[in-house]
Every structure is written in C-alpha cells, then in structure tokens.
Amino acid sequence: MFLQQITRKNPELIKVAAQLHQAGAIPPNTYVFDADTFEENGKKLRAEADKYGLKLYFMTKQHGRNPELFRRIIRPGAKETVCVNMQCARVLHRHGIGIGHMGNLCQVPKYELEKVVNTYRPEVISVFSVEKAKQISDVCAKYNKTQKLLLRVHAPEDVLFLGMEGGFFLEELKKVASEIAMMPGVSIEGVSTFPAVASDKDGTEPVATRNLTTLREAKQMLESMGIECNTVNAPGNNCCANMKMLAENGVTHIEPGSALTGSSTYHLFTDDEPETPAMVYVTEVSHLWDAQAYVYGEGFFIDDPPVTLSKDFKHYAYFGSDPDKIMERKMMFTGIGARPGSGFAKIDYHGLLDPNGQDVHVGDTVVFGFRGQLFMTRAYTAVVEGMASGNPRLVGVWDWAGHRVGGDVE
C-alpha cells in the first residue's frame, strides 16, 4: 500500500534493499531502514515539536526496538522513548537508551514493577486503575523511590480500540485522583489517552478525536483539586501535520512512531508531508505451489489505516533477481498461509503472492512497502547508512529482541 509512495519518494531504498538481499548480506524476513532518512525525519519532528513547545516520546514498537535507529535521534542522556511493553523496555535499557514513558498501551506487570522502578527508571508510568497505582506506590515505599504517574482518562464518547480499553472515566477522576495523591512514593504528573488524533474520511487531514477534549477536561479537573498537571500526553498518529492542532489544545507531550518512517495515514494519501518513507520489508521466494508464489514470512503484520477499509486497497510487492530492474515487476499479495478467499491464517509461515503468469524463480528477492508493527513479528531489522550521499553501507542486522546478528557476531 505504501509501496507507491516509497517508489516516488525513496526509490533508492528499494534498490539497495534488493542488492543487500541478492548479495546475501541480509536474510529474508528483514525490514530495511534508511538510517539517513530516519534520522532526518527525527530532526523534522523535533524541530516542529520545538516550534510548538511540545516534548517528544519516540515510539519504538513500529521499528523493531532497533537500538541503532534510536541512538541516532535521542538526545544523549534524555528519556525520550516510549515502551509499550516490557520487551521494549528490556531492549532499550540493555542498550543504554533512556525510557520516558511506560504503561499507556500495556500496563507494567505487578512482578516487573521492582525492575522498572529501580532499574529502568522511566520518567512517567501510566496507570489504568487505583490498584496499579497502589502496586507502584508499594514498590516505591519499599525501596525509598519516587515515581511520577500519568492517569489515562476517557469519556463514554471517546475513541477506544478493541482490546486496548482501560483507564479512568471523568466521572470518577476526582475520587481516584484523591486516593492516588495520598499514596507514598508516587505523584500525579498529568494525564494521557489513546488515540488523540485520527484522520478525516479521505485520510488526508488530521482530525482531533473526542479523547482530546477529555484530556483538557481531565486537566482542568485535576487543577481544580490543586494537583499540578504538568503533562498532557496525546499519542496516536503523531506527526508534523498535527502538532499545531495538538499544541493549541493544551497538549504538552506526543509520541510519534510511524512518522519516523513516513508511514502514517497522511503519508499514504498526500505527497506534501515533510517526513519521507524510510522502511521496506524484504523477503524471498521460497517455492511455487498451485500458481502461487510462497515467500518467507514471520514479518507480516500489516497495520492498515482504518480509512483504507472502504477503499478496496490491494498490496503489491516488487520481485526479481536484478536489483536494477526490481521495480519493473510486481505481484499482488493474497494473504498469509491461506488460499485466496479463505481468510488469513494466524501463523505467517509464508506470504502468498499471485504471479499472474509472470516468471518467478525460487530465491527471487521480494520487496514490500506497508505500515508495520514490528514488535508483533519475528522479523529482523537492518540499518543502512550513507543513502543520502549515494554511498550506502550496511551498519548491521538485529533480531526481534534487539540482538545483533550476522557476520562475525554469530
């Protein structure tokens, strides 16, 4: 789906990715990142955030928690990342990258709190319940630590994604805030939500969700109680295009993720977004069966923006063995581990593509472009630098747990 945009805006990435695969430098099932463009996107996001007085927590899940990428955009010593789960936190901490926010999508588990409070030391932890706040308080009291908390808030009219619900409704906020404010070792730093931003029906313009109004109301309620609300965190589709709107609504912190690879909804439907595509997914033809090309999987988590559901989108991939001609032929993606029309299997041993009569060979490189969620996959990540100067160089390959692999490492 994003393949067309990558072809227009960063075609060299497609070619270099194919070259690396055909040279045996990267395995199939690898997301290849253009480090120069990734870093430039980070600079653009930071400049726009600074313009409007916003602070950044960079989302790491979409990019496979790759430590090399985030070293390039995080200020030394700063806590500017957000971790959706403990796996993200472990990888970043192991590589010395400071953690800004935990808990907004997945709560920190009870028996991991001691490690988080004592070792990972995030700037803030979001809580969905008084009970979770009490668990954090107990750990802080035990070890004489302090921890700032964000209260995730919602109203009945807010947008909530299935399986990601949680937090405090406005009608109970004063009561729970009073309880939490009395707990030792923790302090209420502010409020958070998800998602604060969506897109219009065409996918071209950012639109505030009702959640953003809830954030403002929650801040006012806390301040009416004498609780200073220093953080108003508004994650969800954050990019340069919506920072002005968020700042005008009293937001203080944002969590850009897909924008770092130029793959938000707005990047799909418009050509004038400042962030540039910086990621492709590379795999290989494993075998042919019943007029279908089977390619190595384990990386197929395609996060289609909701607006595409009504637009009958099809995914395509380039294929071939000649990197210079890789963009001349493409196949339609028909699913993962299932026959066309039979739905999608849960385990992506393979991806299936329709050659439509074209010659396809075992070992051919296959290059996809889509918005991914790498933390949900078993894919590798490869970082390439020097693209901007015309001298691309493979920096390294990492597995899904942030360990470097390949070459002399194995």
Over 60: is that where the pLDDT of 65 sits? yes
- pLDDT bin (cut points 50, 70, 90) of residue 372 is confident
- pLDDT bin (cut points 50, 70, 90) of residue 161 is confident
Over 70: is that where the pLDDT of 408 sits? no
Give me the pLDDT at residue 227, please: 97
Over 80: is that where the pLDDT of 368 sits? yes
281 with 370: CB under 8 angstroms?
yes
Span 298-317, pLDDT tens digits: 999 887 766 555 556 788 99
Give me the pLDDT at residue 160, please: 87
Q: Are strands 231-233 and 186-192 parallel, antiparallel or unpaired?
A: parallel
Span 119-157, pLDDT tens digits: 999 999 999 999 999 999 999 999 999 999 999 999 999
Span 89-129, pLDDT tens digits: 999 999 999 999 999 999 999 999 999 999 999 999 999 99
173 with 213: CB under 8 angstroms?
no
Residue-averaged pLDDT of the chain? 92
The highest-confidence range among 266-275, 311-320, 342-351, 397-406, by mean pLDDT, is 397-406
DSSP-assigned beta bridge partners for residue 372: 302
Terminus-to-terminus CA distance in the chain, angstroms?
A: 35
Average pLDDT over residues 178-207: 90
Q: Which domains does the chain have, with CATH numbers?
A: 3-33+274-409 (2.40.37.30), 36-261 (3.20.20.10)
What pTM was computed for the model?
A: 0.94
Over 90: is that where the pLDDT of 166 sits? yes
- pLDDT bin (cut points 50, 70, 90) of residue 203 is low
Phi-psi region of 118 (alpha: psi -120 to 50; beta: other; left: phi over 0): alpha
Give me the pLDDT at residue 253, please: 98
- pLDDT bin (cut points 50, 70, 90) of residue 340 is low
Over 70: is that where the pLDDT of 381 sits? yes
Average pLDDT over residues 379-385: 97
- pLDDT bin (cut points 50, 70, 90) of residue 268 is confident
- pLDDT bin (cut points 50, 70, 90) of residue 72 is very high
Over 80: is that where the pLDDT of 371 sits? yes
Give me the pLDDT at residue 289, please: 95
